[in-house]
């Protein structure tokens, strides 16, 4: 267990804090799984080892499996990985999860903005200080970037992402569900609804809807420890909320 997971575990065992977390978990409504034929498509764009592990090989049983977040999402969605958020990648899709993506081209950002404004639903995990461990060396193009590679999209939507003052675990609540985050940023978004201590922003962009979470380590079980279940519940619940968000 790394030092952030140890610190996170210590933060969770306080009597008052633990009681609040347990109570919140009892009160938050469960998000039901869907039968295979009822699962809508969810596009996924990420630099993180979600579809395959970092040690992926073609040999079975040696790191070829997906992640916990992928397994959880596949109980509600038909997953479609995309390489770029341009018109070709987005196609006719309606739901997109961008989990700490690599920098997008200017052309892709134009397409993504138009897609959202036309009614797209986006959950963006933009981590300004990623703690996710990687065995890939610095400079390796397959290594996740150390911070969210924003090339102007957030500013275009009237948002700004602030780096944390220090590394370490942070507890928060989102719609009655507990979150354990690691070195999350803070968002400034005057036209949006800010939640969880400015870690989460919910915004209406044109006819579409966007939720930004200023952390991506929350979906890494090695970092989140026993709190991973609550974190994944919150991600799935936010996607469900975006799905049913009415178009303007």
- C-alpha distance across the termini of the chain, in Å: 46
Residue 212 DSSP label: E
Between these two residues, 140 and 154, which has the higher pLDDT value? 154
As a whole number, mean pLDDT of residues 147-170 equals 94
Answer whether 79's CB lies under 8 Å from 50's CB: no
What is the tens place of the pLDDT at every residue in 99-125? 999 999 999 999 999 999 999 999 999
pLDDT band at 142 (very low <50, low <70, confident <90, very high): low
* Residue 224 banded pLDDT, cuts 50, 70, 90: confident
Average pLDDT score over residue span 120-146: 84
The pLDDT tens digits for 48-72 are 999 876 665 433 433 445 689 999 9
Contact 104, 85 (CB under 8 A): yes
Average pLDDT, the chain: 85
What pLDDT is stored for residue 88 in this prediction?
97
At 54 the pLDDT is: 61
CA distance 102 to 193: 26
**Token pair of 120 as six digits:** 């797209």
Q: For residue 13, what pLDDT is reported?
A: 34
For the segment 145-150, the average pLDDT, to the nearest whole number, is 90
pLDDT at residue 46 greater than cutoff 60:
yes
| Beta strands 41-46; 95-99: pairing state | parallel
**Mean pLDDT of all residues in 206-233:** 94
Backbone φ and ψ of 96, nearest 5°: -140, 130
**Which pLDDT score is estimated for 188?**
98
Which run of H or E residues covers position 20? helix 15-27
* Helix, coil or strand: residue 216: coil
pLDDT on residue 53: 63
210-to-38, 141, 153, 220 alpha-carbon distances in Å = 23, 28, 12, 22
The CA distance from 76 to 82, in Å, is 18
Confidence band of 138 (pLDDT split at 50, 70, 90): low
Residue 12 has pLDDT above 50, yes or no: no
Give the separation between CA 23 and CA 214, rounded to whole angstroms.
Answer: 25
Residue 157: pLDDT band with limits 50, 70, 90: very high
221 touches 8 (CB < 8 A): no
Q: What is the pLDDT of residue 8?
A: 41
């Amino acid at each position: 267990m790394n030092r952030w997971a140890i610190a996170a575990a210590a933060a969770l065992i306080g009597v008052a804090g633990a009681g609040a977390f347990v109570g919140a978990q009892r009160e938050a409504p469960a998000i039901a799984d869907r039968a295979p034929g009822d699962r809508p498509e969810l596009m996924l764009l990420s630099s993180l080892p979600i579809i395959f592990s970092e040690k992926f090989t073609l040999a079975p049983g040696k790191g070829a499996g997906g992640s916990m977040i992928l397994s959880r999402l596949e109980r509600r969605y038909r997953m479609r990985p995309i390489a770029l958020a341009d018109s070709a990648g987005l196609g006719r899709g309606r739901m997109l999860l961008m989990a700490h993506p690599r920098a997008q081209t200017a052309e892709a950002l134009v397409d993504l903005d138009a897609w959202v404004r036309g009614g797209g639903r986006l959950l963006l995990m933009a981590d300004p200080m990623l703690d996710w461990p990687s065995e890939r060396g610095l400079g390796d193009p397959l290594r996740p970037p150390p911070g969210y590679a924003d090339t102007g999209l957030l500013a275009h939507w009237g948002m700004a992402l602030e780096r944390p003052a220090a590394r370490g675990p942070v507890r928060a609540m989102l719609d009655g569900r507990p979150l354990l985050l690691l070195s999350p940023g803070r968002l400034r978004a005057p036209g949006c609804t800010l939640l969880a201590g400015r870690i989460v922003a919910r915004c209406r962009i044109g006819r579409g809807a966007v939720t930004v979470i200023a952390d991506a380590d929350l979906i890494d079980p090695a970092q989140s420890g026993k709190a991973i279940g609550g974190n994944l519940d919150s991600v799935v619940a936010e996607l469900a909320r975006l799905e049913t968000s009415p178009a303007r």
